[in-house]
Amino acid sequence: MNRPSKNNSRFLLAGDSALVIQFGEVVDAAINQNVRKLAAIVKRENINGILDLVPTMRSLMIHYDPLCVSQSELKKRIVPLLGKGITLDDDINRWRIPVCYENEYAPDIEEVSKSLGVSASEIIKQHTSVELEVFMMGFLPGFPYLGLLPEIFDLPRRVEPRVHVPPRSISVAARQTTIYTIDSPGGWHLIGQTPVDFYHRERRNPVLVKAGDKVTFFAINSEEYPSVRRALMADEYPLMMDC
């Protein structure tokens, strides 16, 4: 079992009230799991003075109260935890998410198809072929970063970002995929749209997924999209899979 360790981590200073533990320089599923494992271990230890834990792709930022615990004291508490193991699978959910990769729902799919030299149908096949892991949440409320996609999606971002990206848009870049949760600027390639709200502030649980959850996409056509959307709004369209 992979676990955080002194050998694969380093401490970085982040002002006088935050400490960063970094596990690597690249986006990698194993590195991300080490970040989330350390976050879970630190949370369980309930260390006095810690205010917040912020796991990212490859590092954990610990916000703390310097009047309760010094940076050196905090580091001494964290170092022994790096060798501890923990299982993360107990609290994950698996989701099966419908996506329309057609017409106005996929404004960049033809451009991506041309740049990669493959058909749009091959892009859809590849995007729906793997179970993806939610690496982290960020940028917007309920906005997940998922990966890793097949190597075909090792794309740079768009040269010209959009000023407006519609909610529920599915984007790809750098072997990752994201779902925009509100109208926002964005620089990734839009290859589809889901009728699923990954964030809805009126919902009992406004944020649909969390770091560590697993997501599989499947294709629906543009004729199906409105009816699936209505079923979702009526809470009549199951998304969660049995683990």
d(CA 219, CA 124): 8
Range of the domain at 138: 92-241
73/142 same-domain check: no
Which residue, 170, 160, 204, is CA-closest to 190?
A: 170
Spatial contact of 135 and 176, defined as CB atoms under 8 Å apart = yes
Residue 82 lies in a domain: yes
153/62 same-domain check: no
Spatial contact of 153 and 175, defined as CB atoms under 8 Å apart = yes
Spatial contact of 179 and 169, defined as CB atoms under 8 Å apart = yes
Q: What is the pLDDT of residue 6?
A: 55
Residue 1 lies in a domain: no
Which residue, 57, 56, 74, 58, is CA-closest to 18?
A: 74
Q: What is the pLDDT of residue 29?
A: 87
DSSP string for residues in 28-45: -HHHHHHHHHHHHHHHHH
135/58 same-domain check: no
pLDDT along the chain (243 residues), means of 10: 67 94 90 91 95 93 97 95 76 94 97 95 98 93 96 94 97 97 97 98 94 96 98 95 70
230/115 same-domain check: yes
Which residue, 54, 11, 15, 16, is CA-closest to 35?
A: 54
What phi and psi, each to the nearest 5 degrees, are found at residue 73? -65, -40
121/178 same-domain check: yes
Q: What is the pLDDT of residue 127?
A: 98
| Pairing assessment for the beta strands 50-55 and 10-13 based on DSSP bridges | unpaired
Task: Examine the fold and report which residue of 89, 108, 124 is the final residue of a domain before the chain moves on.
Answer: 89
Q: What is the pLDDT of residue 83?
A: 80
Task: Examine the fold and report which residue of 89, 105, 134 is the final residue of a domain before the chain moves on.
Answer: 89
Q: What is the pLDDT of residue 91?
A: 78
75/97 same-domain check: no
Residue 107 lies in a domain: yes
Q: What is the CATH number of the domain that holds 97?
A: 2.40.100.10
- Helices then strands (H, E): number in the chain? 5, 14
Count of structural domains within the chain: 2
| Pairing assessment for the beta strands 214-220 and 94-100 based on DSSP bridges | parallel
